[in-house]
């Protein structure tokens, strides 16, 4: 019977078996790696015989992209080929399903567009790539490193920019590789969420969100400046369940987002005026005596001063003027929120990407705190957490070569995961510069200048700010090495590209900054072509360096990536997750044994151990001690330009795949019909969007989802010869906070302005 | 049909994330350029907000499939067990009659195989006790597979923008609600 079914299935799906067997034979002998990629596609990965899972080898993987959901994946492999993927059913969060991006993974792995071999480009941007051997690539790279050291008497001329392309813990081996070479220049900070991290640290001494799964217990949910319907699809089910149990769902956003469309109430706040709204609500709660007196007296510091500030400076009428939301709505919202128990606010990363983003997060935190919603299941000011990230960072922590010289100035490298490494204090340091101002930092940094740039887990030209300035800054660099999967805009400007792996060719371990699950990432298939993991690249470079100059690199020269994955575990992780060994993760992901509420005993990690409405630390770092109103950026153009996430991409990943183009093959600018009419723009027309730093053209779509004074474009790298890049129009203006915990302030990505005209 | 299974599309739960559409491609490694499942944006005064409500659509596994009736090779059959409409690839000669005759534009022509292909309700997965790939992956429970005989509250057969025919498409829909919207005073 099974056989019959199988035959039926094969017939139904037109499986070409002889061809598949032929290709598998090639794969086994390694011949395939040297063949044109066309042969790999698409029949090699046909997943036909789905009748019996026992016929597959099932591996555990994790999506390592910079995403709330960090899905636990089950990979189905047959004959050494990944046939298809599924979400792990063992995780109640992933719950058996991935997203549009995760479901494209087999295509990413077997994409004909992947970078297959080390290559060098004769003339940046020329596209004149020549295949080279790993030996030649490493020879060029190591010679340059030694040349820099000889010229400058230190290695500060070697710069690293790396971010969130792969959050697998072993990928911190890239930082380890840099350390193993000497003191280098590090682009530090994060473009993502630093203003909010600092804000929450001033208020609570940490950043620690409740378990998102406990949102089902919320009676009132405000999703504020977040769009989980695009960016955390797996959280939507908890919001729905809360509503089914009687909760009200409110979305506050400048845009009528997909999440807003699913809410009970949508409030179109003026961009960047979130703080005014929160403070107006807070003032109303004071007037209505709806403040949780027990919380603000027993568990908080400085509430009386905050209340005095509100009474003196804030009125609901003022908040209505600032935000555009009628005063009656603000009053009703505040009262409903305060009377619901528990009530929660999800503070999105979008709403802190402003020059006053940190201040706005503090104002919202205060609203949650004064209603006594912190430390409660179903409550909380939810932003993110790092409670489950206590790995060894074995790959990251490497010794400097003896006699290394470095930077004598202040500061050292930091990132949002800073603190786990226990980096030793030394006389010399790495030189740190702001990751969010990469162009300006390269242009301004001298003595020595950054001569060579290593780019890993990052697509600078797509994701960093002021694209035109970055291109100018890159001209100052003597050698650019990019490690990547695809020929993206950064690789286009590189001298050497090193091919790296997808999660399915890698051993690592992953956790989320949102949910509480831990996932193993096994090597499901052998690395294709000549690709290498980040740590294998580091080992190969070390071998080369030491061959040329013994002792010049401390990174181990032979490594086993599976063993290095194992080395990231420790007893703390085992205890937190209630497992005895990492091997148990082969049975599926596990969840941290934490209470669902953060700060369950209402003990905070602030200097006072209380919730700090008044933060001396904030004051010492140049901010207001209280969560005061901070004005937004002055407009530098007629329309606000908003460039949030697309549902089809994770920053510059996934949208480039041909499969994604089957559903979304063209970028648009979205504007209000009124705005369009005043400029004579019609639906579908080709337009120019321009501001002081750049210009971009695309077609227009008219929609009143966008306010009349704004333009909307989703950030993405489309690939496939499309040069759309929103960061051509986004400058590198800093947000107010971020330097305290991540080493550099964030970026005011949503405080950008532009105009639009017919092309 | 007694045992008709059907896709139930709860437009009110659907967030338009395209997970179902890509899950389908993932399950069968469908050729670039072809989608067996896709989303259609609701364009109707009942939901006047662009690209924020969607119908997730694949084959409707009709009661009287126009594709099967049109196929000169009789390569398309309807399963007794669940009413899934399936193309028998051994019989398909690529004449494209099913493609021109399906009022919902469901069958797609695969240039490489020179044959038609489409959603077959993952009947083999179902036989193995699993949900169709699209249904399993849906993160909000908006797309489910139901027995058509089972009445779903608020279910409609022909929502606005979905072609009305007499061939008995089995897909059922629940329409989206609109939130209360407070726009800025300007």
Give me the interface pTM, i.e. the ipTM: 0.98
Residue A26's pLDDT is 39
> What secondary structure letter does DSSP report for A214?
G
Between CA B55 and CA B38 the distance in angstroms is 8
Q: Quick one: A138 and A80 in the same domain?
A: no
Number of Cβ pairs < 8 A linking chain A and chain B: 198
Nearest to A613 by CA among A199, A300, A282: A300
Please tell me which residue, A53 or A202, carries the higher pLDDT value.
A202
Q: Quick one: A169 and A228 in the same domain?
A: no
What is the C-alpha radius of gyration for chain B, rounded to an integer number of angstroms? 17
Between CA B160 and CA B54 the distance in angstroms is 11
Contacts of B184 in chain A (CB under 8 A): 268-270, 323-325, 707
Residue A548's pLDDT is 98
Q: Quick one: A220 and A347 in the same domain?
A: yes
Beta carbons of A742 and A194 less than 8 angstroms apart = yes
Which residues on neighbouring strands pair with residue A251, listed in sequence order? A223, A266
Query: How far is it between the farthest Cα atoms of chain B?
Result: 64
Contacts of A117 (CB under 8 A, 6+ apart): A131, A132, A499, A529, A530
Q: Quick one: A546 and A401 in the same domain?
A: yes
| Structure tokens belonging to residue A603 | 């003990």
Does A153 score more than 80 pLDDT?
yes
Nearest CA in chain B to A264: B179
Does A3 score more than 60 pLDDT?
no
Nearest CA in chain B to A325: B184
Q: Binning pLDDT at 50, 70 and 90, where does residue A52 land?
A: confident
How close are the terminal C-alpha atoms of chain B, in Å?
Answer: 56
- Measure A538 CA to nearest chain B CA, in Å: 33
Residues of chain B short of pLDDT 50, as ranges, are none
Nearest to A400 by CA among A421, A422, A430, A420: A430
CATH code where residue A70 lies: 2.20.25.90
> What's the rounded mean pLDDT across residues A252-270?
98
Nearest CA in chain B to A73: B137
Residue A213 maps to a domain: yes
Between CA A282 and CA A310 the distance in angstroms is 8
Residue A584 maps to a domain: no
Q: Quick one: A375 and A454 in the same domain?
A: no
Number of domains chain A contains: 4
Q: Quick one: A448 and A487 in the same domain?
A: yes
Does A43 score more than 90 pLDDT?
no
Residue A569 maps to a domain: no
Substitution target in B26, B52, B126 with the highest count of A β-carbons within 10 Å is B26
> What secondary structure letter does DSSP report for A650?
B
Instruction: Determine, for residues A707 and B184 on separate chains, whether the beta-carbon distance falls below 8 Å.
Output: yes
Alpha helical stretches, state H, A288-341: 293-298, 303-313, 316-323, 327-339
For A174-208, letters b (16+ CB in 10 Å) and e give bbbbbbbbbbbbbbbbbbbbbbbbbbbbbbbbbbb
Contacts of A72 (CB under 8 A, 6+ apart): A60, A61, A62, A87, A88, A90, A91, A93, A94, A517, A519, A588, A589
> What's the rounded mean pLDDT across residues A561-589?
98
Instruction: Determine, for residues A9 and B88 on separate chains, whether the beta-carbon distance falls below 8 Å.
Output: no
Q: Binning pLDDT at 50, 70 and 90, where does residue A266 land?
A: very high
Full domain range(s) for residue A159: 119-192+393-502+523-562
Instruction: Determine, for residues B89 and A12 on separate chains, whether the beta-carbon distance falls below 8 Å.
Output: yes
| Structure tokens belonging to residue A662 | 């089957």
Q: For a pLDDT cut of 70, what percent of chain A falls above it?
A: 91
Q: Quick one: A236 and A163 in the same domain?
A: no
Residue B112: half-sphere exposure toward Cβ, Cα within 13 Å: 13
- Measure B48 CA to nearest chain A CA, in Å: 9
Q: State which of A86, A109, A132 marks the end of a domain.
A: A109
Q: Quick one: A229 and A377 in the same domain?
A: yes
Alpha helical stretches, state H, A158-302: 173-181, 194-204, 228-231, 236-244, 258-261, 274-287, 293-298
Residue A407's pLDDT is 87
Q: State which of A78, A109, A140 marks the end of a domain.
A: A109
Nearest CA in chain A to B128: A51
Q: Quick one: A272 and A377 in the same domain?
A: yes
Give domain B5-174's CATH number out of 3.30.70.20, 3.40.50.1220, 3.30.1370.160, 2.60.120.620.
Answer: 3.30.70.20
Residue A77 maps to a domain: yes
Instruction: Determine, for residues B27 and A106 on separate chains, whether the beta-carbon distance falls below 8 Å.
Output: no
In angstroms, the Cα distances linking A368 to A118, A275, A334, A601, A609 are: 52, 13, 11, 16, 18
Q: Quick one: A477 and A611 in the same domain?
A: no
Alpha helical stretches, state H, A584-657: 616-620
Q: Quick one: A436 and A289 in the same domain?
A: no
Nearest to A656 by CA among A90, A25, A11, A114: A114
Instruction: Determine, for residues B141 and A240 on separate chains, whether the beta-carbon distance falls below 8 Å.
Output: yes
Residue A418's pLDDT is 53
Does A32 score more than 70 pLDDT?
no
Q: State which of A109, A143, A160 marks the end of a domain.
A: A109
Residue pLDDT, tens place only, A166-201: 999 999 999 999 999 999 999 999 999 999 999 999
CATH code where residue A127 lies: 3.40.50.740
> What's the rounded mean pLDDT across residues A660-669?
98
Residue A132 maps to a domain: yes
Instruction: Determine, for residues B19 and A50 on separate chains, whether the beta-carbon distance falls below 8 Å.
Output: no
Residue A36's pLDDT is 35
Instruction: Determine, for residues B17 and A701 on separate chains, whether the beta-carbon distance falls below 8 Å.
Output: no
Does A427 score more than 90 pLDDT?
no
Q: Binning pLDDT at 50, 70 and 90, where does residue A296 land?
A: very high
Nearest CA in chain B to A54: B128
Residue A624's pLDDT is 98
Q: Binning pLDDT at 50, 70 and 90, where does residue A25 land?
A: very low
Nearest to A378 by CA among A346, A334, A333, A335: A346
Instruction: Determine, for residues B138 and A97 on separate chains, whether the beta-carbon distance falls below 8 Å.
Output: yes
Between CA A436 and CA A466 the distance in angstroms is 10
How many CB atoms sit inside 10 A of residue A375's CB? Answer: 23
Residue A411's pLDDT is 60
Instruction: Determine, for residues B117 and A86 on separate chains, whether the beta-carbon distance falls below 8 Å.
Output: no
Contacts of A19 in chain B (CB under 8 A): none
Average pLDDT across chain A, whole number: 93
A54-61 LR contacts (CB < 8 Å, sep 24+) = A56/A83, A57/A524, A59/A504, A59/A522, A59/A523, A59/A524, A60/A88, A60/A519, A60/A520, A60/A521, A60/A522, A60/A585, A60/A586, A60/A588, A60/A589, A61/A85, A61/A503, A61/A504, A61/A519, A61/A521, A61/A522, A61/A524
Does A218 score more than 60 pLDDT?
yes
Beta-sheet strand order (sheet of A57-62): A57-62, A72-78, A81-87
Contacts of A622 (CB under 8 A, 6+ apart): none
Q: Quick one: A730 and A658 in the same domain?
A: yes
CATH code where residue A744 lies: 2.40.40.20
Contacts of A101 in chain B (CB under 8 A): 22
**ω into A149 cis (within 30 of 0):** no
In angstroms, the Cα distances linking A483 to A556, A611, A725, B31 are: 20, 43, 20, 28
Q: Indicate the pairing of strand A381-382 with strand A343-347.
A: parallel
Instruction: Determine, for residues B182 and A661 on separate chains, whether the beta-carbon distance falls below 8 Å.
Output: no
Among A9, A87, A704, the residue with its CB nearest the CB of B137 is A87
Instruction: Determine, for residues A240 and B140 on separate chains, whether the beta-carbon distance falls below 8 Å.
Output: yes
Does A47 score more than 60 pLDDT?
no
């Amino acid at each position: 019977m099974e056989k019959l079914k199988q035959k039926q299935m094969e017939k139904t799906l037109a499986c070409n078996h002889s061809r598949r067997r032929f290709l598998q034979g090639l794969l086994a002998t390694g011949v395939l790696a040297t063949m044109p990629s066309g042969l790999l596609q698409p029949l090699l990965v046909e997943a036909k015989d789905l009748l019996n899972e026992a016929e597959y080898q099932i591996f555990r993987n994790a999506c390592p992209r910079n995403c709330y959901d960090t899905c636990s994946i089950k990979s189905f492999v047959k004959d050494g080929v990944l046939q298809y993927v599924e979400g792990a059913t063992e995780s109640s969060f992933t719950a058996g399903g991935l997203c549009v991006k995760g479901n494209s993974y087999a295509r990413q792995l077997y994409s004909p567009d992947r970078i297959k071999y080390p290559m060098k480009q004769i003339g940046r941007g020329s596209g004149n790539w020549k295949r080279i051997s790993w030996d030649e690539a490493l020879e060029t790279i190591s010679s340059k490193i030694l040349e820099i050291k000889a010229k400058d008497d230190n290695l500060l001329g070697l710069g690293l920019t790396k971010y969130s392309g792969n959050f697998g813990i072993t990928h911190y081996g890239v930082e380890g590789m840099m350390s193993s070479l000497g003191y280098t220049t590090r682009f530090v900070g994060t473009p993502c969420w630093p203003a909010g991290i600092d804000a929450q640290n001033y208020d609570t001494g940490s950043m620690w969100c409740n378990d998102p799964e406990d949102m089902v217990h919320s009676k009132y949910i405000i999703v504020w400046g977040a769009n989980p319907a695009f960016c955390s699809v797996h959280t939507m089910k908890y919001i729905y369940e809360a509503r089914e149990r009687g909760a009200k769902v409110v979305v506050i956003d400048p845009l009528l987002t997909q999440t807003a469309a699913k809410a009970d109430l949508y409030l179109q706040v003026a961009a960047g005026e979130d703080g005014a709204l929160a403070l107006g609500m807070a003032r109303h709660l004071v007037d209505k005596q709806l403040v949780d007196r027990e919380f603000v007296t027993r568990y908080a510091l400085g509430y009386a001063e905050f209340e005095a500030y509100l009474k003196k400076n804030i009125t609901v009428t003022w908040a209505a003027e600032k935000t555009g939301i009628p005063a009656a709505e603000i009053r009703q919202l505040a009262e409903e929120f305060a009377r619901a128990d528990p009530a929660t606010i999800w503070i999105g990363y979008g709403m802190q990407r402003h020059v006053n983003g940190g201040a706005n997060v503090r104002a919202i935190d205060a609203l949650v705190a004064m209603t006594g919603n912190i430390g409660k299941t179903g409550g909380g000011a939810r932003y993110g957490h790092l409670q489950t990230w206590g790995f060894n960072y074995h790959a990251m922590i490497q010794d400097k070569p003896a006699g290394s010289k470095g930077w004598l100035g202040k500061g050292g490298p930091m990132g949002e995961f800073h603190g786990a490494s226990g980096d030793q204090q030394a006389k010399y340091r790495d030189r740190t510069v702001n990751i969010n101002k990469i162009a300006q930092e390269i242009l301004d940094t001298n003595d020595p200048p950054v001569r060579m740039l290593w780019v890993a887990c990052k697509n600078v030209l797509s994701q960093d700010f002021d694209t035109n300035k970055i291109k100018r800054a890159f001209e100052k660099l003597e050698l650019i090495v990019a490690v990547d999967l695809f020929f993206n805009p950064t690789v286009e400007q590189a001298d050497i590209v090193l091919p790296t792996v997808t999660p399915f060719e890698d051993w690592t371990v992953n956790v989320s900054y949102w949910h509480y699950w831990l996932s193993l990432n096994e090597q499901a298939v052998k690395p294709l072509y000549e690709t290498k993991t980040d740590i294998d690249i580091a080992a190969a470079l070390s071998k080369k360096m030491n061959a040329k100059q013994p002792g010049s690199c401390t990174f181990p020269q032979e490594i086993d990536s599976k063993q290095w994955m194992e080395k990231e575990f420790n007893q703390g992780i085992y205890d937190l997750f209630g497992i005895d060994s990492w091997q148990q993760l082969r049975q599926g992901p596990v969840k941290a044994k934490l209470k669902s509420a953060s700060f369950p005993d209402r003990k905070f990690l602030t200097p006072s151990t209380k919730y700090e409405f008044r933060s001396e630390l904030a004051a010492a770092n140049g901010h207001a001690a209280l969560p005061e109103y901070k004005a937004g950026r002055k407009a530098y153009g007629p329309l606000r330009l908003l460039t949030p996430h697309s549902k089809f991409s994770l920053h510059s990943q996934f949208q480039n795949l041909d499969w994604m183009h089957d559903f979304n093959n063209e970028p648009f600018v979205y504007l209000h019909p009124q705005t369009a009419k005043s400029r004579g723009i019609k639906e579908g027309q080709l337009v120019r969007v321009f501001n002081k730093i750049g210009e971009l053209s695309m077609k227009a779509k008219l929609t009143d989802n966008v306010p009349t004074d704004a333009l909307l474009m989703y950030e993405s790298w489309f690939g496939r010869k499309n040069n759309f890049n929103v960061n051509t129009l986004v400058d590198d203006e800093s947000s107010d906070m971020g330097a305290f915990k991540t080493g550099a302030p964030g970026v005011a990505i949503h405080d950008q302005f532009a105009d639009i005209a017919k092309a | 049909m007694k045992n008709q299974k059907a896709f139930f599309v709860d437009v009110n739960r659907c967030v338009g994330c395209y997970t179902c559409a890509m899950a389908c491609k993932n399950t069968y490694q469908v050729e670039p350029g072809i989608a067996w499942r896709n989303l259609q944006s609701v364009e109707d005064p009942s939901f006047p907000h662009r690209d924020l409500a969607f119908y997730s659509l694949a084959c409707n596994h009709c009661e009287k499939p126009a594709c099967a009736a049109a196929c000169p090779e009789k390569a398309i059959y309807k399963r007794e067990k669940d009413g899934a409409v399936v193309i028998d690839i051994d019989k398909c000669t690529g004449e494209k009659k099913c493609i021109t005759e399906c009022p919902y534009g469901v069958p797609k022509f695969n240039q490489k195989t020179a044959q038609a292909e489409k959603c077959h309700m993952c009947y083999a997965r179902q036989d193995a006790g699993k949900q169709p790939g699209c249904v399993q992956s849906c993160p909000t429970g908006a797309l489910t597979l139901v027995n058509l005989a089972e009445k779903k509250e608020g279910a409609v057969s022909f929502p606005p923008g979905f072609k009305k025919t007499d061939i008995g498409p089995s897909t059922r829909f629940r329409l989206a609600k609109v939130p209360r919207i407070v726009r800025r005073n300007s």
